[in-house]
Amino acid sequence: MREAQPFMRLRLRLRAVALLVAVSAAPCSIDVDIGGAMRSFAPPHGVNVSAAAVAFAATHGLTEGAGCADTECVAAQLVRACVGASVAAGTRGLVLDVEGVGEILVTRPTLAAAREALTFWGASDAAADAPELAVRIASLARDAPASVAWGAPEPDPMRPVPGCRGAFVDGCRRYVAMQRRQYDAGAAMLVASNHRHHNFAPEYWGLLLRPVVTDPRLWRGKRALDVACGGGRNVLNLLRLAAWDRVDGCDLIARHVEGTVAAALADGWDSARVRAWQSAGASLAAADGSAPAPRDEYDFVMSAIAFQHICVHEVRRGILVDILQALVPGGLASIQYVFRDGPLVPGQHAAYFDNVFDAKGTNSAHDVRITDPADVIADLEDVGFVDVTVEVGAANLGVTKIVSYPDQWLVVSAPKPGDAAIAGREDALGRCMLTRGAPECLAREREPVPDA
């Protein structure tokens, strides 16, 4: 019988990697003390972390230790340590903690990229402070925390905020900064829980994801995006539902983005199938200024447990405009809100078109409630969506008890005009079909030309 192994001591050796767009290195590197000899557990890029942990434990005969009595338990401990390491501070490439703005994840941990991000958020003295910033970035090589504190940018109420129109810019900046501060503080807990309890909501599968659940074959080889992806719960669910070419996520919070990528890697998905980035708040543009909002890229865009928590219509509208742009012609957006059949609570609920820029909190502290579904339909049609429909509650699913909220879910289904098959046509018929739909335009083509 193999002699019992000593208690496994995991010492994390964190490597700085850029997680904003895709992971190009191992998700973690962990030193494991096995009877006094150190062995490194570092799953190769794209490998199922769980399978790699089982193989590592079996190879080294790890059947006990760290509170375990069998190989499977030891492997599970390795996976937990690996995922934890991949979202710890030292693996975040470079995060600029800008006073009054929050944590900003920089795509490339270089001096030039950091200066670009600081300038994007109004830190006009970034160039003058370049030597200090260079020293801070260099400290990453010594395994220091990959977070750089930075003073508040100079106030500039006229500096553009992606997604917000001119008259609303200053209010948008204040509101998004408040949201980021609140969510930054609870990011580790959210990534750990990943909102898994929302998977039990019947409306989630029966309304929000119904287009995918009903016929997964329609989405084979296509691309999906989860807006406000949190810790990656929706990204994982989508990956498991259909054979997508890629499923991406974006979120206001840097650590949420890291959690999404780490969760996908731990679930065995190659990084080529999953990408994630930190969004600017009122837009899907990258928060570090490195990339604009995507255009004509996704066949399906979803958002859950997010829009209901944004009590500023201008911010929601900016995100909706970018969702429309991100969809391919004929693509579909599926977005969840909350409908309230009753009076709004002052200071807690905003009406649909309200702009509560100075809300003291978010995520149930000050939310938006829909009292008339026609408001949502009119808003999305004004943005440019067509054939917008809404469904309220889960009664049509045979469910009488609302699982997630005392109010009812409202799910919006909103296609982008056009058909992917005719995207890119520049002739008059093609332009008509992209904006008005094929039946009307083809009928016009068949009309006889009047005599001159």
**What ranges do the domains of the chain cover?**
9-86, 91-156, 188-417
Q: Which residues contact 147 (CB under 8 A, 6 or more apart)?
A: 89, 92, 95, 96, 97, 103
Q: How far apart are the first and last CA of the chain?
A: 100
pLDDT digits (tens, 9 = 90+) for 328-378: 999 999 999 999 888 899 999 999 999 999 999 999 899 999 999 999 999
Check residues 164 and 336 and name the one with the higher pLDDT. Answer: 336
**Alpha-carbon distance 270 to 23, whole Å?**
9
Where do we find the tokens 């889960």? 394
**Alpha-carbon distance 352 to 308, whole Å?**
10
**Alpha-carbon distance 342 to 406, whole Å?**
11
Torsion 224-230-234-237 (CA) sign: positive
What phi and psi values does residue 9 have, to the nearest 5 degrees?
-110, 115
Task: Return the exposure string of 49-75: e unless at least 16 CB atoms fall within 10 Å of the residue's CB, then b.
Answer: bbebbbebbeebebbbbbebeebebbb
**pLDDT(225) > 80:** yes
**Alpha-carbon distance 24 to 68, whole Å?**
32
pLDDT at 66: 55
In three-state secondary structure terms, 276 is strand
Task: Return the exposure string of 357-382: e unless at least 16 CB atoms fall within 10 Å of the residue's CB, then b.
Answer: bebeebbeebbbbbeebeebbebbee
**Alpha-carbon distance 252 to 229, whole Å?**
9
**Alpha-carbon distance 229 to 374, whole Å?**
27
Closest among 265, 219, 251, 209 to 51, alpha carbons compared: 265
CA 214 to chain CA centroid, Å, is 24
**Alpha-carbon distance 424 to 141, whole Å?**
47
pLDDT at 135: 53
pLDDT at 39: 80
pLDDT digits (tens, 9 = 90+) for 54-98: 888 888 887 766 567 777 777 777 766 665 555 443 334 577 777
Q: Which CATH superfamily is domain 188-417 in?
A: Vaccinia Virus protein VP39 (3.40.50.150)
pLDDT at 353: 97
Closest among 262, 263, 372, 252 to 303, alpha carbons compared: 252
**pLDDT(24) > 70:** no
Check residues 155 and 189 and name the one with the higher pLDDT. Answer: 189
Q: What is the dihedral of CA 53, 57, 60, 63, to 10 degrees?
A: 170
pLDDT at 1: 34
- Residues 119-128 have a mean pLDDT of 63
pLDDT at 448: 40
Count CA atoms within 13 Å of residue 361 on its CB side: 8
**Alpha-carbon distance 307 to 234, whole Å?**
15
**Alpha-carbon distance 363 to 183, whole Å?**
9
- Mean of per-residue pLDDT scores for the chain: 77
Percentage, residues of the chain above pLDDT 90: 40
Structure tokens at 105: 């994840």
Q: 300: how many CB neighbours lie within 10 A of its CB? A: 24
pLDDT at 323: 97
Structure tokens at 127: 């160039």
- Residues 386-408 have a mean pLDDT of 71
**pLDDT(260) > 90:** yes
Q: Which of 129-143, 317-331, 392-406 has the lowest mean pLDDT?
A: 129-143
